[in-house]
Amino acid sequence: MTSKKLWAGNFKLAFVLAGLLIMLYPAFSKAATTDATLSLTPSTRTVSTGTDVTLTARVNPGSNTAPGVNAVQIDLTYDSSILQLEAGSIAPASPFTIAVGPTEPAGNKVSVALMDGGSQVTTTHDVAQFTFRTLTSGTATVSLDSTSDAAVNGTLVVSTRNGATVNVTDNPLYPVGGTVTGLNGTVTLQNESGDDLSLSSNGAFSFPTDLNSGDPYSVTVSSQPSGQTCSVTGGSGTVSSPGVSNISLSCSGSGSSSSSSSSSHSSSHHHKKAKHVIKHLHISPISIPVFMTKHKGDKIWWNAICEKGLDHYSYVLKGVIVDTKNPYFLIPNTVISGSTYDLKIKVFDLKGNMRYKKVRLRIL
Distance CA(90)–CA(102), nearest Å, equals 10
Distance CA(207)–CA(350), nearest Å, equals 17
Contact 129, 54 (CB under 8 A): yes
pLDDT in tens, 218-273: 999 999 999 999 999 999 998 888 899 999 999 998 876 444 333 334 333 444 44
Is the fold of 3-169 the same as that of 277-363?
yes
Is the backbone peptide bond immediately before 285 cis, with ω within 30 degrees of 0?
Answer: no
Q: Which CATH architecture has domain 3-169?
A: Sandwich (2.60)
By CB neighbour count within 10 A (0-12 exposed, 13-18 middle, 19+ buried), where does 40 fall?
buried
Q: How many helices (H) and strands (E) does the chain have?
A: 3, 30
Distance CA(155)–CA(22), nearest Å, equals 8
Distance CA(210)–CA(241), nearest Å, equals 12
| Helix/strand/coil for 24 | coil
Contact 187, 66 (CB under 8 A): no
**Per-residue pLDDT, 19:** 52
How many residues are recorded in the chain?
Answer: 364
Q: What is the DSSP letter of 185?
A: S
The answer, yes or no, to whether residue 33 has pLDDT greater than 50, is: yes
Please provide residue 264's backbone torsions phi and psi, each rounded to the nearest 5 degrees: -60, -30
76 pLDDT band, cuts 50/70/90, is: very high
pLDDT in tens, 262-289: 333 433 344 444 444 334 456 777 777 7
The CATH fold of domain 277-363: Immunoglobulin-like (2.60.40)
Q: Please state the domain extents for the chain.
A: 3-169, 173-273, 277-363
Q: Can you spell out the DSSP letters for 292-342?
A: EEE-TT-EEE-B--BTT-EEEEEEEETTEEEEESSSEEEPPTTS-TT-EEE
40 or 216, greater pLDDT: 40
| CATH class of the 173-273 domain in this structure | mainly beta
Residue 8: which residues within 8 A CB-CB, separation 6 or more? Answer: none
